[in-house]
Chain A
Amino acid sequence: MMEELAHHILDVARNSLEAGATRVEITVEEDPTGDLLRFSVVDNGSGIPPYVQRQLANPFFTTKSGKKVGLGLPFLQAAVERCGGNLEIRSDVGRGTTVVATFPYYCWDRPPLGDMPRTIVSLLVGNGHLDLCYRHIFNGQSFELDTGEIRSRLKGIPLDTPEVLLWLRQYLAENLNILSGGGGYEVARRAG
């Protein structure tokens, strides 16, 4: 079980890395007015062969040798179903994969979005060369981070140097806070 949607996002994006993706686009869209929370992970990895695609929701299926279970997507599927949301996975072998999960914003069973800055930073640990584009939309306003821009500013210093990653985490946290109009926007929903 994952406590936060941000954990699911990290898990899905890690699949992208394992599929050899060099570019990953993560979009989180929060639309409280429209009762919608949607996230998508789009990669240019190796894609999922059709015989595997048929088994994605099956927890007792995995392509890893020596293992019996593969729980990542089944967990996400279960979280989506608990809320009456929707999970869509499109994949082309050799081109990449797109995962889109949609939840009703106001649903008791929806996990909170959680710590997105931590998720983004964790993805970049040991993956300084990854082209990661993170877009966060809140009530129509958006914030975007592209590691390409960050890397060009760093002029050869690895993006995954601890100091740089912690700086990024703070940078993301502050910008998301501004985006959501001063923080704690999920508190009201969880407090009830």
Chain B
Amino acid sequence: MKSLAELDKLREKLQEEMRLREGKEDVKVVVTMGTCGIASGAREVLTAILEEISKRGLKGVTVTQTGCAGLCHCEPLVEVERPGRDKVTYGHVDEKKAREIVVSHLVNGQIIKEWTIK
């Protein structure tokens, strides 16, 4: 059973990790969460990304959300921005694809071209 006291332990662990990373620029992952995004599964994609990042112990990734990007027919959308590189947008992402994007793009630095949209 999770208790708030347990949160203190997690905090101590995270504080240690933060000290190690100080000053490095983060990779940004953005999930669009307009009505179109939510209806097509952006919430599920977002939590899958969090899970995969946590499972792989990835540090230096900021996950964030935004509203409708005007590409409703391609939702759910996931954008990846690495410092100094062009933004990459993936379309029609589901939970499975989201996990693969984390592994391929964030861990190994390989863009999955066939899932990207221009």
Contacts and interface: CB of A to CB of B under 8 A. Distances in A.
Whether chain B is bound by chain A comes out as yes
Contacts of A11: 35, 38
A157 B21 CA distance: 13
6 contacts: A11-B35, A66-B70, A75-B35, A119-B43, A149-B4, A150-B7
Nearest to B39: A2
Interface stretch (A22-30, A135-143, A168-176): A168-176
A59 to B, nearest CB: 10
A18 B67 contact: yes
Interface string A151-167: 00111110011111111
B94 to A, nearest CB: 14
Interface string B41-82: 011101100110110000001111101101000000000000
A54 interface: no
Interface string B90-102: 0000000000000
Interface string A80-103: 000000000000000000000000
Interface of B: 1-2, 4, 6-8, 10-11, 13-15, 18, 30-31, 33-36, 38-39, 42-44, 46-47, 50-51, 53-54, 61-65, 67-68, 70
Interface residues of A, number: 42
**Consensus secondary structure, chain A interface:** helix
A161 B33 CA distance: 19
Interface of A: 1-2, 7, 10-11, 14, 18, 64, 66-67, 70-72, 75, 115, 118-119, 121-122, 125-127, 149-150, 153-157, 160-167, 169-171, 174-175
The 3 closest A-B pairs by CB, nearest first: A126-B64, A72-B35, A171-B2
B101 to A, nearest CB: 15
